[in-house]
Structure 1
Amino acid sequence: MMQTKLRLGLVFPGGGCEADFYRFERDTGEAVRVYFAQARYGAVEGADHHPDALRETARVDWIVQAAHRLSQVPLDAVVWACTSGSFINGRRFAEEQARGIAAATGVPATSTSLAFAAAAHALSARKVSLLATYPQDTVAFFTSFLAEYGITVENSRSLGFDSGWISSGFDGDALLRAAEQAMAPGTQALLIPDTALPTLGVIDALEKRLGLPVLSANAVTLWHGMRTGGQVVPVSGLGTLLADFAEMPAA
């Protein structure tokens, strides 16, 4: 077992995909440790992927309240591990959100949406395809967010799930089929948002089938969390990003 090098605090709404993060921790030989805190989240008639619900989920005070529960751990970085709760109000808000979390906790911070932008740029992926669990009106907010970073969505597919709990039960075989249907010719990566969606176990298979990098919410969350914490530990078997992009300067 390797000595722990990096401690990441992951603040997330709901749950359902913790196994992805524990798998990553195991595959690093515990060189990276992850610590969870659950934040409050909004819902409109039980739908937490509704834009109005997400604007509540995005509240910095709720996120900080959860992050403070990790105060007994000497963290290297905190990640707001929620894609939709970080893109819903656009780029400026997402960046202010991360700064607010860092200021309140005294720990460098980022979010899953900021991680998507950073990862796409790291891979020089400016034209992408998108497979999103969210309803179409929520997908439009992510497309606009990416455009603010110069990333164009050439094609998107919405699975129409109105809750992260539905996403957490979507199996790998169905994900492989849906990913193929989301692809557009000439794109440089496939993006799969939603940290509730299990992806780390199928990223390698997806990349082999599609012939290009796949950036999932959980992969970019871990990668950018490590960068924000100052050191990226490479891990094979979990996709191109986590295996091959460890030597970039810290964000």
Structure 2
Amino acid sequence: MNLLSDIDIFNGATCFVSMEYAPLGLIGLLTPQANTTVEPEAWALLPSGFSLINGRLVSQAPNLNQRLLDYFDQLESSMPQFGNAPLSVLALACTGSSYLMGCEKESQWVNAWQARLNIPVVTAGMAVATALKTLGVRRLDLLSPYPGDLTQASVAYWVSHGFDIGTVQSVNSSDPGFHAIYTTSSESANNAAQALSASSADAVLMLGTGMPTLKTLLIQRDRTGPPWVSSMLALMWQSVAAIPNTAPEASDLQTWLDAGHWADRAQAMGIAPTST
């Protein structure tokens, strides 16, 4: 399979992975250039038999919102990082790009790239929407690490997908001098989550692929109340489910929410809580 036959491949090192480690499917994961959270959470969440190779979404724009738009608009320049690796699915780990593009244009964009690559293309935004609809969610509370304008863009995006938005709870970052989202800690997320402990929504969504979420998901899993969903959990679930011939147990969303296949791995990686 020549995945990128109509894209010029750059001259240089290309990423390869032994298919020995991906007998059930290989995910091509694209991550925003400074994001330090996507890769460890993706590896923790993946079921056995699936693997991934990671590339970076890059933009030189000084403005955050313009960079987010560039990530999708300039996908052509990111794809050569995968060379001719036999990808089963392409996953884009950036919800902010979806918010600014809007769900209608995003859907058209995804369809165009799927036709071009001849593999499923999954964005984090669309994966979250699919997960929430699978759960029958209508009313949604949000836990947001974003600045105010991007939080409002996310609210508009979820409303356009048909969800009613209840409480929007902000999460504080520790060092906005680097990147406010990427310096958000699990402790900050957990502290903010306390404000939603009595949520009456159908689900609580932890926004963004840059905020660490696995500790919070495990804590909330063992408490009563609505299900908690993160952008990364939804993205990896939908990426696996989109691969042809995936076993039903690997594509069952409730199994992912229960953390049956990833709790021990998170513990081993040091990103699971010591107590709930």
TM-score, length basis structure 1: 0.81
Helix, strand or coil: the match of 2:23? coil
Q: How many residue pairs were aligned?
A: 235
Which whole-Å CA distance do the structure 1 matches of 2:259 and 2:106 have between them? 23
Could you say which residue in structure 2 is the equivalent of 1:93? 105
Match of 1:206? 220
Residues 171, 126 of structure 1: CA spacing in aligned structure 2 closer, same or farther, 3 A cutoff? same
- d(CA) in 2 for partners of 1:113, 1:175: 20
| 1:168 match | 182
Root-mean-square deviation (CA), in Å? 2.9
Q: Summarize the Cα distance change of 1:163–1:64 in structure 2 as closer, same or farther, 3 Å threshold.
A: farther
Task: Encode CA deviations 1:20-65: one digit per residue, 9 max, x unaligned.
Answer: 112223xx23x11011110113644xx53xx344333331xx2232
Deviations 1:96-139 (A, max 9, x none): 22123323323210200001110000011110100111111111
One-letter amino acid matched to 2:45: F
1:56: which partner in 2? Answer: 70
* 1:9 and 2:23 are equivalent in the alignment: no
Name the SS for the 2:210 alignment partner: coil
Contact 1:219/1:241 (CA < 8 Å) preserved in 2? Answer: no
Worse-matched range after superposition: 70-79 or 215-224: 70-79
Give matches, 1:1-251, under 5 Å: 4-14=23-33, 15-17=35-37, 18-25=39-46, 28-29=47-48, 31-41=49-59, 43-44=61-62, 48=64, 51-59=65-73, 62-159=74-171, 165-182=179-196, 185-209=199-223, 211-230=225-244, 231=246, 233=250, 240=257
Contact 2:31 2:56 in 1 (8 A): yes
Higher mean C-alpha deviation, range 148-157 or range 232-241: 232-241
Q: Deviations over 1:181-216 (max 9, x none)?
A: 246742011111211122124312123346221110
Cα distance in 1, alignment partners of residues 178 and 79 from structure 2: 20
Over the matched positions of the two proteins, sequence identity in percent amounts to: 17
Contact 1:176 1:206 in 2 (8 A): no
Structure 2 residue ranges without an equivalent (≥5): 1-19, 262-276
Larger radius of gyration: 2
The CA distance in 1 between the partners of 2:168 and 2:22, in whole Å, is 41
User: Within 2, Cα distance between the matches of 1:113 and 1:163?
Assistant: 26
What is the TM-score with the length of structure 2 in the denominator?
0.74
Whole-Å separation in 2 of the counterparts to 1:160 and 1:170: 7
Q: What is the rounded CA distance, in whole Å, between the counterparts of 1:210 and 1:89 in structure 2?
A: 35
Change (3 A) 1:166 1:124: same
Q: Secondary structure at the match of 1:187?
A: coil
Partners of 1:237 and 1:11 in 2: how far apart? 25
| Aligned-partner SS, 1:198 | coil
In the aligned structure 2, how far is the partner of 1:235 from the partner of 1:169? Answer: 31
Partner residue in 2 for 1:248: none
Would you say the 8 A contact 1:11–1:63 is kept in 2? Answer: no
Counterpart contact for 1:143–1:152, Cα < 8 Å:
no
